[in-house]
Amino acid sequence: MMIDPGSDGPITNCATCPAGRASGVGRGGRCPFVARLRPAGSYVYFQGEPADVVWFVKKGTVVLSRSPGDVAGEDSAHAVRRVGSFIGIEALVSPTYLDSARVTEDATLCGTSRENASLWLGPPETPARITLEQVLRASYAEAPRAAGADGSAVQRVARWVLEEARDGRAPSLPRHIVANLLGMVPETFSRALAQLSRRGAIDLTRKLIRVKDPDTLRDLARG
Amino acid sequence: MMIDPGSDGPITNCATCPAGRASGVGRGGRCPFVARLRPAGSYVYFQGEPADVVWFVKKGTVVLSRSPGDVAGEDSAHAVRRVGSFIGIEALVSPTYLDSARVTEDATLCGTSRENASLWLGPPETPARITLEQVLRASYAEAPRAAGADGSAVQRVARWVLEEARDGRAPSLPRHIVANLLGMVPETFSRALAQLSRRGAIDLTRKLIRVKDPDTLRDLARG
DNA sequence: CGGCAATTTGAACATTTTCAATACGGGTGG
DNA sequence: CCACCCGTATTGAAAATGTTCAAATTGCCG
């Protein structure tokens, strides 16, 4: 399907590739990324696999999808990556891939191991690197938001409680904001919380949510 | 509202701050970021304003929200940023802020101008910087997805068509993937497209979507 | 103690999803 | 070159889910 023709300008040459240029290709530098062809329909990696390779898209289109919890069917795409994007870059901050990547248009991808990517990025503790890592962590922490896209209100709320309670966070956020974050109106949020409470998964007062029965909660989160 | 107490560990000292350490504070370095106090309820910046300052959260909580199109009311929060996060970091890749940032828990924020931040990050065209910039661009390109959170199916689809057609992109994505991206089932996507076509906003064939009347389309996107 | 704002509850309403059936288009083999 | 087949996209009607609007409740603060 197309929306007006319009071309996507594949990158064919390391000298015109941002990664290549940053590596100093042509000025004696060497780029650690090596190109591979991937046909439309193939998967580059799956959610949950060890994140061993970082990729860069030189040509084609890749769709990222994430399924709440475990390994994915092919549900819930959440982003499209085209020429000039890194994919699997979460390898820098996560031991496993956080989503699955599927080629939807024949692609040329340049890949390199996590170690080489890390070397390539230069010393840790430099401003650019800590910033990069923080930004990556922040993007991928938005997992709940991605999960928010699908599932019933009760499931999303259950997932959110699980997620937030896991690291003992104390959001102190007004309910209507949380509701918003989860993509629902405050009334719906309230009802969902009430249901979680009715089923015995949480203890609920107006000011505090406490996990009472994590297993039940997990069940409710699953559906 | 809380989910179990649990502390948030504010950063009180530049020597324990990632940004401070990366700047070499204590080893003769100097961190360009300077601290400011912000009370709960205040806004740090608004969507659409010139993005002149990059912030780092040392204490407190900030909620990011984005409204499709123009300047925001306080609708549709889409992310929470806590201690250790950068906010307004889109300043590096965008002339204006892409969302509004509102403090929800008294905060200490360290800020510095875009220029200083850029200096601080080191020379452009280094691997870490081009990677950072690419990742930022990718995160913020997910705007359509954020917009996806609210509005009716027809509105979201209209917005998507507008967005994709704007830069002449040719996604060639299967419909069920696009539908997914927009947070709806393929059937709903199909119906929405049919409606857009019925109202004369687009030309629709099974394989191609062409914008026929951008104004009508914009109206439909607005609601 | 009274008033205010946030939250919860209820019932009608609107939208989206579901499930099932049909149409379309591209590719294959005759 | 055409008929047939298969997977994708579309349409229809019923059911589920979330939203809206209005009213009642709760906790906080003066």
Element (H, E) at B55: strand B53-65
Which range is least confidently modeled, A16-25, A177-186, B114-123, B160-169? B160-169
The Cα–Cα gap between A93 and B100 comes to 26
pTM for this prediction: 0.87
The Cα–Cα gap between B159 and B190 comes to 15
The Cα–Cα gap between B136 and A158 comes to 30
Answer yes or no: are the C-beta atoms of B13 and B86 closer than 8 Å: no
Q: How much of chain A, in percent, has pLDDT values that exceed 70?
A: 86
B113-124 average pLDDT score: 96
Answer yes or no: are the C-beta atoms of B15 and B26 closer than 8 Å: yes
Residues with Cβ within 8 Å of residue B180, at least 6 apart in sequence: A65, A75, A76, A77, A78
Residues with Cβ within 8 Å of residue B11, at least 6 apart in sequence: B17, B58, B59, B83, B84
What local confidence, expressed as pLDDT, does residue A70 receive?
53
Q: What's the half-sphere exposure (Cβ side, CA atoms, 13 Å) at B85?
A: 24
Q: Is the pLDDT of residue B7 over 50?
A: no
Nearest CA to A87 out of A22, A31, A33 is that of A33
What local confidence, expressed as pLDDT, does residue A135 receive?
95
* pLDDT tens per residue, range A155-187: 999 999 988 876 545 456 888 889 988 889 999
What local confidence, expressed as pLDDT, does residue A5 receive?
36
* pLDDT tens per residue, range A187-216: 999 999 999 999 999 998 888 888 999 999
Which residue(s) pair with A204 in the sheet?
Answer: A209
The Cα–Cα gap between B187 and B179 comes to 8
Residues with CB under 7 A from strand C: A 174-176, 186-187, 189-191, 193-194, 204, 206; B 1, 152-154, 183-185, 187-188, 191, 205-207
**Banded model confidence at residue B34, pLDDT cuts 50, 70, 90:** very high
What local confidence, expressed as pLDDT, does residue A174 receive?
85
Burial label, B5 (beta-carbon count in 10 A; 0-12, 13-18, 19+): exposed
Answer yes or no: are the C-beta atoms of A66 and A146 closer than 8 Å: yes
Question: What residue of A is the nearest CA neighbor of B168?
Answer: A6
Question: What residue of A is the nearest CA neighbor of B144?
Answer: A79
Chain B within 8 Å of A170 (Cβ-Cβ)?
A: yes
Number of CB pairs < 8 Å for A and B?
218
Which range is least confidently modeled, A34-43, A90-99, B26-35, B134-143? B134-143
List bases, strand C, within 7 Å of protein CB.
6-11, 15-20, 24-26
More confident residue, B189 or B26: B189
* pLDDT tens per residue, range A9-28: 788 888 899 999 999 888 88
Answer yes or no: are the C-beta atoms of B40 and B63 closer than 8 Å: no
**Banded model confidence at residue A54, pLDDT cuts 50, 70, 90:** very high
What local confidence, expressed as pLDDT, does residue B173 receive?
84
Distance measured from the CA of protein residue A206 to the C1' of nucleotide D28, in angstroms: 12
Q: Is the pLDDT of residue A92 over 80?
A: yes
What local confidence, expressed as pLDDT, does residue B143 receive?
58
**Banded model confidence at residue B4, pLDDT cuts 50, 70, 90:** very low
Nearest CA to A87 out of A126, A134, A16, A140 is that of A140
What local confidence, expressed as pLDDT, does residue A143 receive?
58
Q: What is the DSSP letter of B50?
A: B
The Cα–Cα gap between A77 and B174 comes to 11
Q: How much of chain B, in percent, has pLDDT values that exceed 70?
A: 86
Which of B126, B131, B134 to mutate against chain A (most A CBs within 10 Å)?
Answer: B131
Residues with Cβ within 8 Å of residue B141, at least 6 apart in sequence: none
What local confidence, expressed as pLDDT, does residue B56 receive?
97
What local confidence, expressed as pLDDT, does residue B6 receive?
37
Query: For chain B, how far is it from start to end, CA to CA, in angstroms?
Result: 33
